[in-house]
Structure 1
């Protein structure tokens, strides 16, 4: 029988009253990149090869087991992991792992909005990836995970668009392996108007829009948009807009040579000094210090 996980209030620390809600496992900082790809051995040994129950509210994950065994516990069910297993773990699903020491494989973590384009969700809006499932991986999937890990760690030119393209490819290939009985993910079936709002916020052409502008564009009153946004994201529309802007600013500071003023302007701040103050208020450090900390 599936364990019923009651809804929980998420605090600013990223923890809920029932299970931790992480960006990356064990971390409470904001997700800093287009995606994250690491080897299982990069994180699991430090936790005794056991990953305790947690969830990722807005992150979708794919796991590939290349050698070794393990178990996945997801929403009260237990799944055996064997060499050649590929796992689809949707955002919001409560999961944990027990790995055999020395297990080899990858975990690919992707913010759900990165698998969207200007027109529609690709392919998270479909039922194929909406629920957890385990399937057998062929050599082509193994090669894809190796390639995205190489691109992620390589920091070459055009890194971000390459990673976005590769993540879509993996998502589509894994979706083809989905069984027809794959169950819905927690929170699946989001309101199309909220999905439209999210895409608009992430569109560079809407920089500077007010909440009322977004509400009008998606066909809602501002108050209705506030209610839906709090229900789906746990924050107000204004907070969500700010979160998107500062997350994009962190990426630009980390992976481009744009000046701090240019980064601020790109995310809607015309005054560099105001951007620096706002960035420090949000992150605790100045844009310059943030960039220097990554360089070091």
Structure 2
């Protein structure tokens, strides 16, 4: 982290909300860090880590004093250097809305030390594969720590349906905000989809869809210079006025008021 901030300014301001298209894990070695992730502030201390997934918006805290590491990797790296069975489990960390972002795992620092040792080793044969193996073990431990796994494994068939619903909404929310459309696509009744969604999120399918849309709007408002009209269209609204009413209904603020918090 010291090296990262020594490079500031980089190609963006790390203290302002910015969006990632790769994975990052913030690992704290010493001190206390406040870190902002998708409009929630997490307080991390020695041995804690924060998993940041592609598409999320995060920002470092200017007032925090700490030492640590930021581990960066891509999905392409996971698919190439991590076993397929492990990838399926690791995906629960970043593709499931039930997953946690914050973990306390004292051996996090050991992972960074191990990777650095592999990188400086004069023996380069299978170097990346070895790094991938260590990263795989670490990520699987995070999956095991995820408190929501009790829910996930309580009813595998229901969870599988909920996971498919989540993936559909994430991919197509800009085309439809109607829960009945997703029920039809998943070949289940609207009532059953609602029951499954309530089982895992305590929300109706429609409320879940609204949460996804609002979060995406907030991410764009805080991390891009796109106009509110452009963001409205990107979120599936034909008329910006409808987007304004929708956003205010769910957040209590207009898009302009929300954006003003992130100059």
TM-score for both structures, normalised by structure 2: 0.52
Match of 1:7 in 2: none
Residue equivalent to 1:42: 33
Higher helix share: 2
Cα deviation code 1:37-94 (max 9, x no counterpart)? 59662349xxxxxxxxxxxxxx9x9x773xxxxxxxxxxxxxxxxxxx56799xxxxx
Q: Which digits, 9 at most, give the CA deviation of each residue in 1:124-154, with x for residues without a partner?
A: 27xxxx998846345653699xxxxxxxxxx
Structure 1 length-normalised TM: 0.47
Q: How does 1:125-144 map to 2 (within 5 A)?
A: 134=105, 136-137=107-108, 141=112
Q: Secondary structure at the match of 1:41?
A: strand
Give the Cα–Cα distance (whole angstroms) in 1 for the partners of residues 203 and 261 of structure 2. 29
2:186 counterpart of 1:195: no
Matched, 1:290 2:258: yes
Deviation at 1:239, TM superposition (A): 0.7
- Determine whether 1:252 maps to 2:220: yes
Counterparts of 2:107 and 2:145 in 1: how far apart (Å)?
16
Once the two structures are superposed, the pairs formed by residues 161-180 of structure 1 within 5 Å of their partners are 172=136, 174-176=138-140
Shift of 1:213: 1.9
Q: Does 1:218 align with 2:189?
A: no
**In the TM superposition, what are the counterparts of 1:1-296 in structure 2 within 5 Å?**
41-43=32-34, 65=46, 85=47, 122-124=90-92, 134=105, 136-137=107-108, 141=112, 172=136, 174-176=138-140, 185-189=149-153, 191-204=159-172, 207-208=175-176, 210-295=178-263
Secondary structure of 1:42's aligned partner: strand
Gap regions ≥5 residues in structure 1: 1-31, 45-58, 66-84, 90-101, 109-116, 145-167
Equivalent pair of 1:64/1:106 in contact (CA under 8 Å): no
Q: How far, CA to CA, are the matches of 1:261 and 1:136 in structure 2?
A: 46
Number of aligned positions between the proteins: 183
C-alpha separation between the residues in 2 aligned to 1:283 and 1:182? 28
Deviates more, 1:209-218 or 1:131-140: 131-140
- From the superposition, tell whether residues 205 and 137 of structure 1 become closer, same or farther in structure 2 (CA, over 3 Å): closer
TM superposition shift of 1:198: 0.5
Structure 2 CA distance for partners of 1:203 and 1:217, relative to 1, 3 Å: same
Matched residue SS, 1:196:
helix
> Partners of 1:182 and 1:233 in 2: how far apart?
16
Question: Do the aligned residues in 1 keep the contact of 2:111 with 2:135 (CA within 8 Å)?
Answer: no
Contact 1:279 1:286 in 2 (8 A): yes
CA contact (8 A) 2:237 2:243 kept: yes
- Please give the alpha-carbon distance, in whole angstroms, between the structure 2 residues aligned to 1:199 and 1:181: 23
